Amino acid sequence: MFERIRHMIRKEFIQVLRDKRLRFFIVVPPVVQLLVFGYVVTMDVNVVPTVVVDHDRTATSREFAERFTASGYFVITAAAKTERDVRAVLDRGDAVCAIQIDRGFDRDLRKGMQASVQVVLDGTDSNTASVVMGYVNQIVERYARGRSVPKLAVVQTPVDLRMRAWYNPDLRSKNYNVPGVMATVITLLCLMLTSMSVVREREMGTMEQLMVSPLRPVELMLGKTIPFAVISVVDMLLVTVVGVFWFQVPIKGSLLVLFTGTSFYLLSVLGVGLFISTFARTQQQALLSTILFYMPNILLSGFVFPIKNMPELFQVLTFGIPLRYFLIIIRGVFLKGVGFGILWPQMAGLFVIGTIVITLSAARFRKRLQ
């Protein structure tokens, strides 16, 4: 049995590696996708297009406006003189923040009175607006403290609040998003390779040769899935190296824990890919079926939207999504440095899902061959 499986695995590796386009697909796209999405998928707000309307036109008002540009976040991208100009700039999307300094700003500060400053934000992107609002509050508060005018800032309380961020002290969204992108890249690669393997044999006319060979269905199934599992693990190692050394994402946990969790995850993904291959008759059908599974898997996994914010019905459905468990594992290893003692429930969930999917796929695969 093992000898036949070994020859089947060897045949599969030869068939994969002799195809130049498939070799390219295995190595280059995962790295390119990680590089592209690693830069694009970020929640950091480092550049805030801003328009300033200074009705006071004094040295004090200019100094106040310069505090925003000196912070490194706010960039003046448009000029405006009236409220109508501000509305037009925001409507066109040339700016997301408008700072309006009213007349008498300098006079009120000199008299120790409360000075008025209006900040208008484009709330189309609520996350960006919330972050920019936090930047504005900090800048105004620091300006008020420097001038000893507490009325200008947010009302102070006698509580000394000191915040400390664990696991990601710099609050870099890339540290959180890049491991998630790595998981999605491996998912797509593994699904496509597995779902198309059996279909490719059928289109090439070699499936009949395999069916009349001494290989039993379980041996044929293992020979088809093990090579792609090995390729997926190698690609996982490749994107891990890119994530750590290119994006500077710290990996605080054990590689043993990471690749053990990856193995459990691949068990379920390979099972899904094999299940798709038993239904699809052409590679186009396999590709469309892969996308049909891939998109809900991404949306319900917590990669894009927090699971706790979903309706209760969809929160229950997420327990059947393998990527949900793997995202917790990969982010836990990279950012928190946790081990088996913390991640065993996620690994157990992946093992249960993988066992069920592989069993159903094997039954369907055996029935299809017979």
Choose one of 152, 181, 199: the last residue of a domain: 152
Q: pLDDT tens-digit profile of 184-204?
A: 989 988 888 888 777 776 766
- The pLDDT of residue 148: 56
State the total domains in the chain. Answer: 2
Choose one of 96, 124, 152: the last residue of a domain: 152
- Same structural domain, 90 and 227: no
Whether pTM > 0.85 for this model: the answer is: no
- Same structural domain, 146 and 285: no
Q: pLDDT tens-digit profile of 337-366?
A: 889 999 999 999 999 998 898 888 877 766
- Same structural domain, 257 and 308: yes
Q: Which domain holds residue 115?
A: 48-152
- Same structural domain, 65 and 128: yes
- Its sign, for the CA torsion 286, 291, 294, 296, is negative
Integer CA distances (angstroms), 66 to 44, 73, 189, 229, in order: 22, 12, 49, 56
Residue 162 within a domain: no
Q: pLDDT tens-digit profile of 148-160?
A: 544 444 444 444 5
Q: pLDDT tens-digit profile of 49-78?
A: 999 998 888 998 888 889 998 988 899 888
Contact 96, 49 (CB under 8 A): yes
Residue 157 within a domain: no
What rounded mean pLDDT belongs to the chain? 82
Contact 160, 20 (CB under 8 A): no
- The pLDDT of residue 263: 92
**Closest by CA position to 149, among listed 107, 120, 118:** 107
* Tally of helices (H runs) and strands (E runs) in the chain: 14, 4
pLDDT at residue 330 tops 90: yes
